[in-house]
A and B are shown apart, each in its own frame.
Chain A
Amino acid sequence: DAGVTQSPTHLIKTRGQQVTLRCSPISGHKSVSWYQQVLGQGPQFIFQYYEKEERGRGNFPDRFSARQFPNYSSELNVNALLLGDSALYLCASSLSYVNQPQHFGDGTRLSIL
């Protein structure tokens, strides 16, 4: 079975641009979470979605937004990119949003020039 898939793998943008990252969860998983991982740090929680509804939001500015589609795939959007947004963006899926381990995709490495 396919794991969590994310696209693109790598992305280079300049300051002020906008970016959309995509995630397809493991088949049957209805919850998707997004994390930002800066080099040398642990992942930081951005959003959690379950059944197309936002279930939680981390301490990130409004430039960050996300949504979940009827097929449970998800997109993370970041507007007005800053140099500090350079990071590995990880998507994780789980069967539900409670009491289930999360399984991570390989991530999208975003570089801002």
Chain B
Amino acid sequence: GQNIDQPTEMTATEGAIVQINCTYQTSGFNGLFWYQQHAGEAPTFLSYNVLDGLEEKGRFSSFLSRSKGYSYLLLKELQMKDSASYLCAVRGVGGATNKLIFGTGTLLAVQP
């Protein structure tokens, strides 16, 4: 089967750092994506990991461990506008090889 787990909700304070975890069990693996989705809007691409390690992009970093089926998204210097849902998605293999399997998303609330 295919399963992607993320916490449902998280709360953090403006200016702080937050880590959103994602664990996955899929029949194949061809990369992991993080998307940000504000309420009522489309998901926007944040990061992509296909090899183990840390990818840094400004205030956002994403980490992958393929052997552990684990990833996290790290958000630094939190801003109020970072309040959104963060979706972890694994790209499958075979058939629709660009198919994304999404978790249910983590709703992050940034408080003053």
Residues of A within 8 A of B41 (CB): 106
A98 at the B interface (CB under 8 A):
yes
Using a CB–CB cutoff of 8 Å, the interface residues on chain B facing chain A are 4, 30-31, 33, 35, 41-45, 48, 87, 89, 95-105
Are A42's CB and B45's CB within 8 A?
no
Interface residues of A (CB under 8 A from B): 4, 31, 33, 35, 40-45, 48, 55-58, 90, 92, 94, 96-107
Complex: how many Å from CA A107 to CA B42?
6
Q: How far is the CA of A42 from the CA of B30 in the complex (A)?
A: 19
User: What residues on B are CB-neighbors of A107 within 8 Å?
Assistant: 42
Bound-complex Cα distance A96 to B91 (A):
14
For B45, the chain A residues whose CB sits under 8 A away are 101-103
Mind listing 7 A-B residue pairs with CB under 8 Å?
A33-B96, A33-B100, A42-B87, A56-B97, A90-B43, A99-B31, A102-B100
